[in-house]
Amino acid sequence: MDILAIAPFRMRLTPLPMQSDHPSMCNLYRNSTGAAEVARLFKVEPGDIATGNAAEEVYPGYPGMVVREQEGHRVLQSMSWGFPVRLKSMKPTSKPKAVNNARDDKLGTPFWRPSFESRRCIIPITQWAEAEGETGRMTRTWYSLLGTQLFAVAGIWRPTDEWGNAYSMVMVDGCPQMSDVHDRMPVLLTADQYDPWMRAPAEEALALVRTCHDDLAVDRSTELWFKPRAKPSDANLI
C-alpha cells in the first residue's frame, strides 16, 4: 500500500497575521540566533552559508533561514516562507498567497507530495507563536522547547517562479500542553533525526511526522497579534 496515498487534496490558505480575523496554525516564529551560530549548531560549513536577509521574526511570504541537503552536504540559505498560490479569483497583478503550513494528513496530495518525497529541509527556530484571547484583542503566546535556545522544525521546500526557493512548515496534532490555545503544532526534530528527515525515503521520513510531548516553555506576552498600522502622522519623515 502506498503510505502517502492519503486524503484527497484540499487547499488550506494561511494569510499573513496582519490580514486575517483569526489566524490558522503557525503564522509567526522567531529565530534569534545569528547565521554563524545556526551553521555551527547544524553542522553547516562556513562556505555553505547564504542566508540573505532573513529577519528575527518570520511571517508568511517573508524570508527565513533553512537548512537543506545539496550534493551530499548541508547548506544554510534564506527562502520565502510559504509556497505561492494564485487563486482563480485573484487579479493577474495580485501577490500570490503564501501557504506556509503543510498538514501531516495532506502530505500525500498533489500540492505537497513532490516536495515531501524529494525536498525536505530543517527550519531552525527559537520560538513559534499562536494567537490567544478574544477576537480583536488576541495576544502572542510563544512556545519553545524547555531549556533549549534553538531547535529544529521539519519543513519541505521547492523552487518557485514567483519567489525563488520557498519552504513550508510541517504540522501535526498539538500536544496537551498547548491544547488550550491551538490543536496543531510544528513537527519538532531532534539532532539524530536531521539526516533521516532530509535523506531517508519518504516512507521513513513520514514516521518522524509525529507530535512532540517534550516539555514546552510558554511565554504569554501582552503583545497584540494584529499590530495596528502606523498612521501617516506617526511615520518618520525623511
Cell numbers for 114, please give them: 513532490
Round to whole Å and give the CA distance between 28 and 147: 21
Give 107's DSSP letter. T
Question: How far is 56 from 63, CA to CA, in rounded Å?
Answer: 10
Span of 38-42, 69-73, 107-111, 227-231 with lowest mean pLDDT = 227-231
Residue 28 has pLDDT above 60, yes or no: yes
What predicted TM-score, i.e. pTM, was given to this entire model? 0.85
Q: Which amino acid is at 142?
A: W
Span 10-20, pLDDT tens digits: 333 333 343 34
Share of the chain above pLDDT 90, in %: 70
End-to-end Cα spacing for the chain:
63
d(CA 168, CA 70): 18
Domain positions in the chain: 17-87+94-227
For 17-87+94-227, the fitting CATH number among 3.40.710.10, 3.90.1680.10, 3.30.428.10, 3.40.640.10 is: 3.90.1680.10
Backbone φ and ψ for 47, nearest 5 degrees, come out as: -75, -5
Contacts of 206 (CB under 8 A, 6+ apart): 3, 4, 107
Query: What tens digit of pLDDT does each residue of 171-215 get?
Result: 999 999 998 898 999 999 999 999 999 999 999 999 999 999 999
Chain-centroid distance, C-alpha 114: 18
What is the DSSP track for 113-180? Answer: HHHHHH-EEEEEESEEEEEESSTTS-EEEEEEETT-S-EEEEEEEEEETTTEEEEEEEEEEPPGGGTT
